[in-house]
Amino acid sequence: MTEFLHILDTILLQLIFLPVLYAETHYRFKYFFSYLKKKEPEIIADIPSRITYGMAIPVLVIIKDADKYPVLIKEISVLEKNQVIFSQELNKKVNTPYEDSIVYIGSNDLSYGQHHFDIKINYITDSKNKYCLADNHRGTSHEPLPIFISKDPLPRFDNCLLGETHSHTNYTSDQVEFGASLEATRIMAKAIGLDFFCATDHSYDLDNYENNYLKNDPNLKKWDEFKKEVYRNNLKQKDVIIIPGEEVTVRNKKEKNVHLLIYNSEQFFPGAGDSGEKWFNNLSELSISQVISELSDSSLAISAHPSETPPFLQRLLINRGTWQSEDCGESGLNGLQFINGGENIFIEKGKKLWIEQLLQSNRLTGIAGNDAHGNFSRFRQVGFPFFTMRENYTHLFGEWRTGVYIDSETYNVSSVLNALRTGNCYMTNGPALFMQVYDANKSYTMGEKCPSPNRCRIEALSTEEFGSLKYIKIMFGHMDKKRESVFYDITIDKNSFEYVKEIPLENMPDQGYLRMEVRTTKNFQALSNPIWF
């Protein structure tokens, strides 16, 4: 009976839960055949999706399950168009459950623009000399990994930090998937051009034993080690801030499972409703309101990908649901991570949900993330259990970013969270923006309330990587009419733009907001949070 339940659990995880981490290929049902399983560790190479010219390019190599299949990593080579551009001998013996290595190649001798690198790894396992390209999985393409080398850093204005708000690390590890380490993620974030990232591993993974993902640890040693490692990393490295968190499965008003991002909480919140760990027991332990009511003042609660509708089998078998309007109105909820990488149709759907909340005077901060599970240049995952793999280029780490404006020169966890809490931030996959509103006495930034606005100042910035600015809009939110109207709309073709516009008081509703949108010629975009009045 126990083995039967394990079989059901794994089918659930692989066919229904749609994992998007690096693929765990050694687990299989007892007595069952697995085409994916090999008598060697998983070996996976990855690179950042973009980097600024002149920076060293980190090449990440992950070795998983070498405690079962020891390996000697002999050499790592990088090729472009069949020409070797980098090679380094490692001669590194690995016999641990997880280990990663990073080698660096220079970008000064490479041209600007899109590149595709073959990452070749020579290794010895079971006394045999072998090599792989990109990974050693069966069923993957082994195609070159793409990277964009930009002339310019990511566009931003002064006092702005760019970050990834929803990502997973190797503290998520189970029968079908695993992520990259915190330190490797930090290095890749820096290479991409990020200043912070939120490590939000699943609640149902953080309560497992470290080396046994099938059993829960009542002492929560994995959770404690996660917090300690984040603290040590932030203490040692000041270039990229790591925000500790978890993605908790919670019950919404309709008793369906939805996901809630919790940032910077000392307390662990259980949530295993859609984990597949307890077959036929798919009601999560806590509701949205129960979790939020127990948060400290230093923590934040953000709705995770609220507009995404789960597939039919997830709704049927693991009780997955969607955030409803009444869920978004929960007292104490700080924001909506309505941009979650992926296809534009889901971004537009999320934006519509967010605007509906704004027009109801629900001042939820809009933020962007990717639900990234490692996978910096391409993600690979288990398809049909034990037989197929699938690959694509969505939900890449840092693809969509949240830009936060920091008032002080102290860049730390608290200052980032304060900007997210107040709404002094914007969402972008390319251009930067800045917006201020003035009255007779002072200026007000995103998230603030201006009593008597008389003029608005806007700025936008892009680079060749994302295309020149194409149009800028400022939208009026009318609380009385429960709709938005265009206050200012301009078409341009330049990389930077600054403008101050008078606000005609006769057109102002009694209550409302202004927000800003930017789009580029290459169809990248940015959205501001509102300024209220």
CA–CA separation, 232 and 523 (whole Å):
39
Say yes or no: 439 and 509 in one domain. Answer: yes
Q: How far apart are CA 494 and CA 445, in angstroms?
A: 24
**Residue 344 is which amino acid?**
N
Structural domain includes residue 418: no
What's 173's DSSP letter?
A: B
With respect to residue 361, please indicate whether it lies within any of the assigned structural domains: yes
pLDDT at 438: 94
Which residues, including other chains, have CB under 8 Å from residue 280's CB and lie 6 or more apart? none
- On whether both 371 and 473 belong to a single domain, the answer is no
Coil/strand/helix, residue 190: helix
Beta strand 379-382 pairing with 241-251: unpaired
39 belongs to a structural domain: yes
Please indicate, yes or no, whether residues 346 and 241 belong to a single structural domain of this protein.
Answer: yes
Q: Is the domain of 160 the same as that of 73?
A: yes
Q: What SS3 class is residue 418?
A: helix
Together in a domain, 394 and 440: no
CATH code of 517's domain: 2.60.40
Q: What is the DSSP letter of 135?
A: B
CA of residue 231 relative to chain centroid, distance: 20
* The pLDDT value given to residue 381: 81
Number of domains in the chain: 2
Per-residue pLDDT of the chain (533 residues; tens, 9 = 90+): 444 444 444 455 444 444 445 556 666 556 667 888 899 999 999 999 999 999 999 999 999 999 999 999 999 999 999 999 999 999 999 999 999 999 999 999 999 999 999 999 999 999 999 999 999 999 999 999 999 999 999 999 999 999 999 999 999 877 667 889 999 999 999 999 999 999 999 999 999 998 787 789 999 999 999 999 999 999 998 899 999 999 999 999 999 999 999 999 999 999 988 887 766 678 899 999 999 999 999 999 999 999 888 887 777 778 889 999 999 999 999 999 999 998 788 889 999 999 999 999 999 999 999 998 888 999 888 877 788 888 989 899 999 999 999 987 788 999 999 999 999 999 999 999 999 999 988 999 999 999 889 999 999 999 999 999 999 999 999 999 999 999 999 999 999 999 998 887 666 667 899 999 999 999 999 999 999 99
Collapsed DSSP state (helix, strand, coil) of residue 200: strand
The pTM score is 0.93
Q: Which residues of 27-38 are buried (b: 16+ CB within 10 A; e: fewer)?
A: bbbeeeeeebeb
The continuous run of DSSP H or E covering 226 comes out as helix 221-236
* 8 Å CB contact between 179 and 168: yes
Q: At which residue do the structure tokens 């939805």 appear?
A: 258
* Distance of alpha carbon 197 from alpha carbon 135, whole angstroms: 26
Positive or negative torsion for Cα 343, 277, 29, 313: negative
pLDDT value of position 505: 61
CA distance 461 to 495: 6
Would residue 420 count as lying in a domain? no
Residues 437 and 384 in one domain: no
Closest-CA residue to 443 (of 459, 430, 428): 459
Q: What is the CA radius of gyration of the chain?
A: 24
404, 422, 444 — which closes off a domain? 404
Q: Give the single-character DSSP code of 320.
A: B
Two tokens, residue 175: 């029968």
Cite the beta strand spans of 374-482 per DSSP E.
379-382, 389-392, 401-405, 425-428, 432-438, 443-445, 455-461, 469-478
Do 372 and 500 share a structural domain? no
Give 46's contacts (C-beta < 8 A, 6+ positions apart): 59, 60, 62, 145, 180, 188, 374, 375, 376, 377, 378
**Residue at 414 is within a domain:** no
Q: Is 457 exposed, middle or buried (0-12, 13-18, 19+ CB in 10 A)?
A: middle
Domain-terminating residue out of 369, 404, 439: 404
Residue 395 lies in a domain: yes
Q: Beta 145-150 vs 50-52: how paired, if at all?
A: parallel
How many angstroms separate the Cα of 368 from the Cα of each of 125, 138, 212?
42, 34, 33
State how far the Cα of 381 lies from the Cα of 379, in Å rounded to an integer.
7
Domain that holds residue 145: 2-404
Instruction: Please say whether the beta carbons of 517 and 527 come within 8 A.
Output: yes
- Under DSSP, is residue 381 helix (H, G, I), strand (E, B) or coil? strand
DSSP 3-state helix, strand, coil percentages of the chain (rounded to 5)? 15, 40, 40
Residue type, 467: G
For residues 111 and 208, membership in a common domain is answered with yes
Spell out the residues 6+ positions from residue 79 whose beta carbon is closer than 8 angstroms to its own: 85, 117, 118, 120
d(CA 72, CA 51): 30
**Residue 423 domain-assigned?**
no
**Do 437 and 350 share a domain, yes or no?**
no
* Site of tokens 């189970």: 174
Maximum C-alpha span of the chain: 81
Q: Is the domain of 171 the same as that of 278?
A: yes
List, in sequence order, every residue forming a beta bridge with 147; answer none if it has no partner: 115
Whether residues 202 and 282 fall in one domain: yes
Of 34, 86, 27, 35, residue with least CA distance to 61: 86
What pLDDT shows up at residue 15? Answer: 43
**Confidence (pLDDT) at 29:** 58
Best CA proximity match to 479, nearest among 409, 533, 442, 412: 533
DSSP letter (8 states) at residue 109: T
* Of residues 278, 304, 277, 307, the one with CA closest to residue 291: 304
What does the pLDDT read at residue 445?
A: 97
| 160, 302: one domain | yes
Task: For helices 221-236 and 182-192, give the axis angle rounded to 10 degrees.
Answer: 40
Answer for the pair 135, 142: CB distance below 8 angstroms, yes or no.
Answer: yes
Say if 86 falls within a structural domain: yes
